[in-house]
Structure 1
């Protein structure tokens, strides 16, 4: 009997305790509802009542103002794919979504899902997307003002094939264009107008290895193309230039400097040989970092190729002049005539670059070698001046440099 009484008391205590806890927590409930929440619900119902979301605001012409916000971009030069991730601000006026704020407790703006109202999102697309599914616009929240102005900010990713040109590598720049059209079968007469002239894009301007140096937007082009976005991307080339361009110029300077040494100096032959072998080694390094796409060859390769040819001729010339200087017989008559013609004509400046005077030779050597001595100097000086001019032209034509924006 006592056990039953104890169980009954415990049940009664439990019920009383739970009742007290429930009563105590009633006052702790937070009411997040705003005073005009009922008016907002009523406004949604009134706006969407008899609203036909598949009909445009104006059947004759619906103007959509556009601003592009670039959040991210990537250029894969190996696959020649340009990818952008954008927010596209779209603003237009829909007279069917107007209301008087005084009738709804002063509410002058509301948010609605894009799936409940007419928007230009399903109609605008980039038909040349490499990955078509990435160009889809997903439902977003649109802001509606009491005047009927609607603002939607869809986010989308677009990937397009962008042909690479490598003639100015590593300072190569590429034009990648995305053309947005109206889907076929849509009879809505829509026009897209950029909101601001001169400042169209905000957000990210660089990514790993690339910079966006310029951006152009064109609207209402011919045909069904409504928007055209052109991005000019430039490679971040300072690191590559230090590995490719600087050594190329250094090796060229090394080849030229060797020409100012005497042909019998072993250092001259060593410098020219070192420059030649280093040029081949530089080509091996370039082959590892050079993009393999593109039909045109980088001009820096043409510079290195020309430098290899000059270094080869420099080595051959050094060996030939050495052989002539070592002759013990008297020079040929035409050699003597050539030396006299140069010394007595306006070409005598070619004798100013002598590296050794004849007075340092003995009388017997002077008598035998004077002709060959002068002849080799003339030939060497002509080759030196010609090489300087050729390298100057090669530097101007073939050395890549950053292109100024137009």
Structure 2
């Protein structure tokens, strides 16, 4: 009996030991189920242990849903600084990228409740978002810089790289310095088609709250939209692109003072030339100075205007037309001075024209206002000297003088009309 009792106790003890051993093995199996699947062992550092398990068999060169579906990438721009030179827009911006990677998930309760970790961008698969209408074909435009990303336990990844996006704008300097330019930044995947990696806009796709205002340009966001493009090489593939449209308006206060005021001054000088007496030295001197000022302004403007290779800026066209009028003023002054000294026989059509003008009150006001006393003096001198030939010469010269004055006034009104037409055509409406 004692032997049976001892034998039964031993059997019972063995059964309890086996049960405890099985329970311990079951607990260890359940708690380390993820580790068994990943083939890694537990360490004292939970985060290190988690990252070791996550990236043990991970390949960062394959997009997360390879052969299973599309990887949806959502993006948002956060511009900080912009630069614009000639036709190139350089936008320094943060860009928020979010997507899900089903290979990088874990159960938080198995890892001390950890719900997210920091990972390096080179450790995980990253969407190759780049500018497709880039103004810089260097390698920096086709890859995002290395950064820290947040990886959440459900596989969601958020990265905020700082990038410099350079795009070529459709510029038009016609109304410089009052010019406006529409610029577009087009973001797309460089190596994946839409069936592999699809791009989406987060809300409006942009946050301008942290933008630092530019001192030269007013940078305004217009709209953002997603477009699907097709390529002839791959008719069954789609290529999604995100378009960001911006409006650049120049702050023209400085240029307005530097270039608009000289325009007004040159117009007034040119008109003043036609008002002065033809024989005066001041008129010829002012006409010459006016011509030189036009040339200096055009030379200076040549170095200030941007080179866009399309339309010539209207301000340069104005200086060109005004220069032509300044040259005309110099040539006309020289010819009229010569015309007033002529004593040859005047054609009948010229005499008839002078008579027609003098019979009009306005014509007499413009032509004879300085000649009434001269005519009286000449008549008196003729009576005293009784020199008929000399009197006839003076009358001929006086007739040519009237004709020169009439031409001068007609030129003045013509130049005024030309300036009005030029300003109406070249000055922007807004």
TM-score (norm 1): 0.71
Query: Partner of 1:300: helix, strand, or coil?
Result: helix
Query: Partner of 1:262: helix, strand, or coil?
Result: coil
Query: Partner of 1:397: helix, strand, or coil?
Result: helix
Q: What is the aligned partner in structure 2 of residue 300 from structure 1?
A: 315
User: Which moves more between the two structures, 105-114 or 217-226?
Assistant: 105-114
Q: Distance in 2 between matches of 1:349 and 1:106?
A: 100
Q: What is the aligned partner in structure 2 of residue 69 from structure 1?
A: 78
The total of aligned residue pairs comes to 360
Q: Distance in 1 between matches of 2:192 and 2:345?
A: 94
State the shift of 1:303 in Å.
Answer: 1.5
Q: What is the aligned partner in structure 2 of residue 375 from structure 1?
A: 403
Superposed CA RMSD: 3.9
Structure 2 unmatched runs, 5+: 1-43, 231-238, 380-393
Q: What is the aligned partner in structure 1 of residue 328 from structure 2?
A: 313
Structure 2 matches for 1:36-55, cutoff 5 A? 54-55=62-63
Structure 2 matches for 1:210-225, cutoff 5 A? 212-214=219-221, 216-223=223-230, 224-225=239-240
Per-residue CA distance 1:218-261 (angstroms, 9 max, x = gap): 32332324223444445555444444443233112210122222
Q: What is the aligned partner in structure 2 of residue 258 from structure 1?
A: 273
Q: What is the aligned partner in structure 1 of residue 25 from structure 2?
A: none
Q: What is the aligned partner in structure 2 of residue 142 from structure 1?
A: 149
Within the candidate set 85, 88, 99, 2:95 is matched to 88
Per-residue CA distance 1:107-145 (angstroms, 9 max, x = gap): 55443333444442xx32335442123432133222345
Q: What is the aligned partner in structure 1 of residue 391 from structure 2?
A: none
Q: Distance in 2 between matches of 1:143 and 1:268?
A: 78
TM-score (norm 2): 0.68
C-alpha spacing 1:358/1:161, structure 2 compared with 1 (3 Å):
same
State the shift of 1:292 in Å.
Answer: 4.7
Per-residue CA distance 1:251-299 (angstroms, 9 max, x = gap): 1221012222232333222222210111122223233434455254333
Structure 2 matches for 1:191-340, cutoff 5 A? 191-197=198-204, 200-204=207-211, 212-214=219-221, 216-223=223-230, 224-234=239-249, 237-292=252-307, 294-327=309-342, 331-340=346-355
Q: What is the aligned partner in structure 2 of residue 386 from structure 1?
A: 414
Instruction: Tell whether the 8 Å contact from 1:351 to 1:377 is kept in structure 2 after alignment.
Output: no
Q: What is the aligned partner in structure 1 of residue 119 from structure 2?
A: 112
State the shift of 1:85 in Å.
Answer: 2.8
Instruction: Tell whether the 8 Å contact from 2:205 to 2:224 is kept in structure 1 after alignment.
Output: no
C-alpha spacing 1:220/1:328, structure 2 compared with 1 (3 Å):
closer
Per-residue CA distance 1:15-67 (angstroms, 9 max, x = gap): xxxxxxxxxxxxxxxxxxxxxx9666676567668777534359444433221
Per-residue CA distance 1:323-347 (angstroms, 9 max, x = gap): 44444577543223113334557xx
State the shift of 1:198 in Å.
Answer: 8.4
Instruction: Tell whether the 8 Å contact from 1:179 to 1:229 is kept in structure 2 after alignment.
Output: yes
Query: Partner of 2:403: helix, strand, or coil?
Result: helix
Per-residue CA distance 1:155-212 (angstroms, 9 max, x = gap): 2234445575443334444444443332336575333232233855454455575553
Instruction: Tell whether the 8 Å contact from 2:75 to 2:205 is kept in structure 1 after alignment.
Output: no
User: Which moves more between the two structures, 267-276 or 238-247?
Assistant: 238-247
Whether 1:361 and 2:379 are equivalent positions in the alignment is no
Q: Distance in 2 between matches of 1:377 and 1:234?
A: 48
User: Which moves more between the two structures, 304-313 or 223-232?
Assistant: 223-232
Structure 1 unmatched runs, 5+: 1-36
Q: What is the aligned partner in structure 1 of residue 130 from structure 2?
A: 125
C-alpha spacing 1:254/1:198, structure 2 compared with 1 (3 Å):
farther
Instruction: Tell whether the 8 Å contact from 2:291 to 2:326 is kept in structure 1 after alignment.
Output: yes
